[in-house]
Structure 1
């Protein structure tokens, strides 16, 4: 209806608030809508952020949607990071390994990563696969060669790539003379009894016999008591009697 006067509301409910924060197409503040001579509602701007409003021309409230919705939705979908999800993901991935050049910070006393392997009849793995492997290739798939690798049954193979280099075991901090540089336990790693140990000052301690081509079968004993079952070639250094 030409010149019909309508009001704008926040919803169709009785508790809705009338919207008075309106401007016409020229930017002039208005508090109500007036249809033109053809009965068409002229363009107007509602409150910032309003996606839809309800208008009432005396025959009930009708819902209208912003005519810029399509343009704003298109701009939203084409934006680089409209929901800040990319920024959030980048923050979460800061301590993950990139394809190269990784530098990971791990808190003291915190396990950084771990591997779960299948249980096979009470063992810790089937021994067939690798949880970590270094390999090289000479241009053909058949030329791939494995080097240092950690098997899924716990076995660690340490092999250099290329020319020979020694296996180096050290400690950043100074180790006391009685400190342990290398320890092999009879049970789980780090538990007692130890069957083979190399001290930081170079001493070698073995729980059993040490065999070598130049040692022969002689056994060496020392102390106040003679060996219980002496054999030919045994040496006993008596002291402290």
Structure 2
């Protein structure tokens, strides 16, 4: 009789994996690990397919997993259906990357702009991680990596909602890490500064880089290398940490 453990497939789930930093993480994990990549997206299927193509070109395997991280029932039903269809699979790595910005001065901020940002970064982290964490604990191995921001550490004017969301995820990272460490599950956060992606394309890079000691924006690939390390077995004694990748910007 064939040993089921011998054929268990290992997966890494990257939320918001269709573009920007999420795409770079999917590709880097495909290059550096044996994980099959689950590329989560919500609405941009074309971009998600492009990410999948890049993952395959990098020598990896992947599949698309559409769901809305803010919708707990959608998250649950999608992941449950996937597990039923893949009984010998285990999601060992969770990269909570999905996030949006709705910038504006707080005094003029609409309630919906507050809620959308909180829902995506903070509640998205809860919906995905809470549903999967029991399997990680039973498996006695896992890597949870939360994408936060320099805004969550020092606060950024015009981004009170985003700073609040990322700051909350930082607190959750530190607390959860202590709850699950004995089961060989690590929980860390990566805090990028200014990174050249779709989210920063409207910023005045020439002016902003003057305040960055490294005198440039970072790349999505640089962030992805850090995430890939945290997703590996090599990072087993790092947990509850917030790792900055910001070219030297600190509060």
What TM-score results when the alignment is normalised by the length of structure 2?
0.17
**Greater Cα radius of gyration, structure 1 or 2:** 1
Higher RCO (CA < 8 A, seq sep 6+):
2
What TM-score results when the alignment is normalised by the length of structure 1?
0.18
Q: Which protein is richer in strand relative to its size?
A: 1
